[in-house]
Amino acid sequence: MEWGMKNRLSKLIQSDGKAMFLPIDHGYFQGPTSKLEAPGKTIGPILPYADAIMLTRGILRACVDPAETKPIILRVSGGTSMARREELDHEGITTSVREAIRLNASAVSMSVFVGAPNEHQTLLNLSNLVNECEDYGIPVMAVTAVGTEIGKKDARYLALASRIAAELGARVVKTYYCEENFEKVIDGCPVPVVIAGGLKVDSEIEVFNWIHDSLQKGAIGVNLGRNIWQHEHPVAMAKAIRAVIHENATPKEALQVFQQVKSGKK
């Protein structure tokens, strides 16, 4: 691997081999998502606990201080909106590699929609982006998006999408956690895998369980947003999740961290 590629990846994946990415890119098709209406305010208190932040160029320019040193994962796909839910998979590449370099991105990310009508186009988007980014030593993180097909989140589907993303050259794959056979997703994917959280759930321990179990099965960490910043206590969630990822905390220990931070004891 070239020095530049290695250097960028080492900013994202920490020396313990783990990673906690904080995505706030949801507005690129959802608009002003709940608790992300003012992204700069939302991330202020939680950013110190993340290893990198994932967002679009517009939010980066408008809401993040250029003096910020946290590594940037730049979302470079889009072109769709919730107003046409049935076409969420119809994405193109929205941001040039030149722009990613100008914004000092440590990686770029884009979505592939395996099994959707526009599967072919999104897979070619990934391949073309990898072709360009490899020239400049920029890692591509492929987001295995499910669009409205949320029910397809079983191991067989996730393994298929993750493996294809790796085959086409993604350096990191973001997928979803599934309770059954998640190890099959990891075992079939030769590049590091991070999991997203999806819609906010009501139970904190459920989130810690997903993350803990996925790490046990070989994931390297998370690219997890709503279950942190839509939570009533985002800092407590961020610190607890960080403990699971970087301090080997069990879900029970993470819950203690959460409760201590929530009650101001930590």
| Catalytic annotation, pick one of 11, 18, 35, 174 | 174
CA atoms within 13 A on the CB side of 199: 6
Residues 60-79 interacting with ligand 5RP (rule: CB under 6 A): none
- 196 is an interface residue for ligand 5RP by CB under 6 A: yes
- 226 is an interface residue for ligand 5RP by CB under 6 A: yes
Per-residue contact string for residues 2-21; x = within reach of ligand 5RP by CB under 6 A:
--------------------
- 192 is an interface residue for ligand 5RP by CB under 6 A: no
Comparing CB distances to ligand 5RP, the nearer of 60 and 266 is 60
Comparing CB distances to ligand 5RP, the nearer of 13 and 25 is 25
CA 263 to chain centre: 29
Both tokens of residue 168?
A: 């086409």
Q: Which one of 139, 225, 234, 251 is in contact with ligand 5RP (CB under 6 A)?
A: 225
CB of 198 to ligand 5RP, least distance (A): 5
Per-residue contact string for residues 110-149; x = within reach of ligand 5RP by CB under 6 A:
---------------------------------x------
Q: Which one of 27, 197, 234, 251 is in contact with ligand 5RP (CB under 6 A)?
A: 197
**CA distances (Å), 6 to each of 22, 50, 63, 254, in order?**
21, 20, 28, 31
Closest by Cα among 217, 219, 213 to 191? 219
The dihedrals phi and psi of 92, each to the nearest 5 degrees, come to: -125, 180
- 224 is an interface residue for ligand 5RP by CB under 6 A: yes
> Catalytic annotation on 174?
yes
**CA distances (Å), 77 to each of 25, 112, 203, 262, in order?**
10, 9, 31, 36
Is the CB of residue 193 less than 8 Å from the CB of residue 173?
yes
> How far apart, in whole angstroms, are the C-alpha atoms of residue 15 and residue 22?
18
CA distance between the termini of the chain: 41
Both tokens of residue 261?
A: 């931070």
From 181-189, 206-214, 218-226, 239-247, give the range in contact with ligand 5RP by CB under 6 A.
Answer: 218-226
Both tokens of residue 209?
A: 């369980």
Q: Which one of 223, 238, 242, 243 is in contact with ligand 5RP (CB under 6 A)?
A: 223
> How far apart, in whole angstroms, are the C-alpha atoms of residue 152 and residue 3?
38
CB of 151 to ligand 5RP, least distance (A): 16
> How far apart, in whole angstroms, are the C-alpha atoms of residue 126 and residue 143?
10
Q: Which one of 9, 12, 20, 25 is in contact with ligand 5RP (CB under 6 A)?
A: 25
Catalytic positions are 174
Interaction site with ligand 5RP (CB under 6 A): 23, 25-26, 54, 143, 196-198, 223-226
